[in-house]
Amino acid sequence: RSSHKYDVGNFLEIDPMLGTEKDFANLCIKAKAKGIKVILDMVFNHTGDDSLYFNKYGNYQSVGAYQSVKSPYRDWYTFGKYFKHGYRAWWDIETLPALNQDNKNYLDLLTDVLTKWLKLGASGIRLDVVDELNNDVVSHINKVCKGISDDLIIIGEVWEDASNKISYGVRKHYFNGHQIDSVMNYVFKKAIISYLKDGNYLYLRDSIRSLINNYPKYALDKMMNIVDTHDTMRLVNNFYNHVPKNKADAAKFKVSEEVRSEAILKQKMATLLQFSLPGIPCIYYGDEAGLDGFDDPFCRRTYPWGRENSKLMDWYKKLTNMRLDDVFNGGSYLEVKSSPSQFIFKRIKDNHEVLVIINNSNIFYEENKKAFDMLEMEEVDQIHVSPFSAKAYKLK
Nearest Cα residue to 55 out of 110, 10, 103, 102:
10
Marked catalytic residue, from 7, 131, 132, 157: 157
| Dihedral over Cα of 196, 198, 204, 205: its sign | positive
Q: Output the tens digit of pLDDT for each of the chain's 396 residues.
A: 788 899 999 999 999 999 999 999 999 999 999 999 999 999 999 999 999 999 999 999 999 999 999 999 999 999 999 999 999 999 999 999 999 999 989 999 999 999 999 999 999 999 999 999 999 999 999 999 999 999 999 999 999 999 999 999 999 999 999 999 999 999 999 999 999 999 999 999 999 999 999 999 999 999 999 999 999 999 999 999 888 999 999 999 999 999 999 999 999 999 999 999 999 999 999 999 999 999 999 999 999 999 999 999 999 999 999 999 999 999 999 999 999 999 999 999 999 999 999 999 999 999 999 999 999 999 999 999 999 999 999 998
DSSP 263-310: HHHHHHHHHHHHHHSSSEE---TTGGGT----STTGGGPPP-TT---H
Specify whether 300 is located in the same domain as 367: no
Task: Say if residues 204 and 192 touch (Cβ distance below 8 Å).
Answer: yes
| Amino acid 2: pLDDT | 85
Q: Give the Cβ contact number of residue 40 at 10 Å.
A: 17
Q: What is the CATH number of the domain that holds 197?
A: 3.20.20.80
Is there a single domain that holds both residue 301 and residue 232?
yes
337 within domain boundaries: yes
- The reply to whether 325 belongs to the active site is no
Which long-range CB contacts under 8 A does 40-43 form with residues at least 24 apart?
40/117, 40/122, 40/124, 40/125, 40/126, 41/125, 41/126, 41/128, 42/113, 42/114, 42/125, 42/126, 42/127, 42/128, 43/6, 43/8, 43/128, 43/129
The Cα–Cα gap between 372 and 357 comes to 13
Residue 227 lies in a domain: yes
Which among 326, 344, 376 is the end of a domain?
A: 326
Say whether both 220 and 248 belong to one domain: yes
Residues 305 and 203 in one domain: yes
Q: Please give the residue range of the domain that contains residue 106.
A: 21-326
d(CA 237, CA 250): 11
Closest CA to 119 of 144, 140, 136, 137: 144
Residue 4 maps to a domain: no
What does the pLDDT read at residue 241?
86
Q: Collect all residues with Cβ–Cβ distance below 8 Å to 346 and sequence separation of at least 6.
A: 333, 334, 336, 353, 354, 355, 356
Tell me the pLDDT tens digit for each residue of 226-264.
999 999 999 999 999 888 999 999 999 999 999 999 999
The pLDDT value given to residue 279? 98
Whether residue 5 is contained in a domain is answered as: no
User: Do 257 and 362 fall into the same domain?
Assistant: no
pTM for this entry = 0.95
> Final residue of a domain: which of 307, 326, 345?
326
CATH number at residue 378: 2.60.40.1180
Nearest to 135, CA basis, from 96, 106, 94, 176: 176
| Other Cβ atoms closer than 10 A to 273 | 24
pLDDT tens string 120-129: 999 999 999 9
Q: Look at residues 270, 295, 326 and tell me which one is the last residue of a structural domain.
A: 326
Looking at the fold, whether 302 and 266 belong to one and the same domain comes out as: yes
Q: Does 15 participate in catalysis according to the annotation?
A: no
111 located within any domain: yes
**Is 51 contained in some domain?**
yes
For residue 58, how many C-alpha atoms fall within 13 Å in the half-sphere facing its CB? 2
Same domain, 342 and 266: no
249/336 same-domain check: no
Q: Residues 91, 164: one domain? A: yes
Question: Does residue 127 sit within a domain?
Answer: yes
SS3 category, 22: helix
User: Is residue 131 domain-shared with residue 189, that is, in the same domain?
Assistant: yes
Of 275, 372, 380, 285, nearest in space to 331 by CA: 275
* Overall number of domains in the chain: 2
Please report whether residue 314 resides in a domain. yes
DSSP single-letter state for residue 151: T
Exactly one of 75, 128, 231, 262 is catalytic; which is it? Answer: 128
**How open is the CA angle 320-324-329, to the nearest 5 degrees?**
120
Q: Which residues contact 242 (CB under 8 A, 6 or more apart)?
A: 253, 255
Residues 263 and 276 in one domain: yes
Are 151 and 262 within one domain?
A: yes
Give SS3 for 54. coil
Look at residue 242 in the predicted model and tell me its pLDDT.
Answer: 86
Length of the chain equals: 396
- Helices and strands counted in the chain (H then E): 9, 16
